A and B are shown apart, each in its own frame.
Chain A
Amino acid sequence: DAGVTQSPTHLIKTRGQQVTLRCSPKSGHDTVSWYQQALGQGPQFIFQYYEEEERQRGNFPDRFSGHQFPNYSSELNVNALLLGDSALYLCASSWARQGREKLFFGSGTQLSVL
């Protein structure tokens, strides 16, 4: 049973570029959440997708967008990259119907913006 998988593991971009990160949820999970973890900080909630729609969003600008596909996998897109976007991006999946669901995290994508 594969857990949450993310790709790529590392990425280097320059300011102003655009980036797409990918996530496949744990088998049986239908909800995907994205988090940004800056150095020395805890994961910050970006948004959550369920049934291919953005269900909840944190305090992130519109440069951050996402998508969920019919197979529940998800993408995070960041446009017009800033130096401050350098962080570890974590994808977490869960099963909406459980009620007391816990998040299962992938290993993350380390994004460096130069």
Chain B
Amino acid sequence: DQQVKQNSPSLSVQEGRISILNCDYTNSMFDYFLWYKKYPAEGPTFLISISSIKDKNEDGRFTVFLNKSAKHLSLHIVPSQPGDSAVYFCAARDITSGTYKYIFGTGTRLKVLA
């Protein structure tokens, strides 16, 4: 039962173009969403987050959009750079039990072509 889904295992984008990574979730109790980037042999590093009370958050080249009615969020990277090539994980915070835990998607491997 995958509560956070990233249906595209990989994505290739030309340098300078927009990268759009998608994430769907099933639990309406998720209240906070994060994107992490992971390079080989390293742990995931935090990229950007969004609260469930917002629909957009921007940080430099990275923008996250949240559509609560569709239970969908997306990460836009503009312009894409070769250094952005990594695996991107979407994560959602589950507070249903009173304390919290983060549930991760399976990741999307982004390749930015020079």
Interface residues of A (CB under 8 A from B): 4, 33, 35, 40-45, 48, 55-56, 58, 90, 92, 100, 102-108
| Interface of B (DSSP majority class) | strand
Chain A residues closer than 8 Å to B106, beta-carbon distance: 40-42
Residue of B nearest to A108 (CB): B43
Give the number of residues in B that approach A within 8 Å (Cβ atoms).
25
Q: Given A102-B34, A102-B49: A45 and B43 within 8 A (CB)?
A: no
B17 adjacent to chain A (CB < 8 Å):
no
Given A4-B43, A42-B105, A45-B103, 7 more contacts at CB 8 Å?
A48-B101, A56-B99, A56-B101, A92-B43, A100-B51, A102-B49, A106-B43
* B residues 27-79 in Cβ contact with A at 8 Å: 32, 34, 36, 41-46, 49, 51
- The answer to whether A100 touches B32 (Cβ under 8 A) is yes
B25 adjacent to chain A (CB < 8 Å):
no
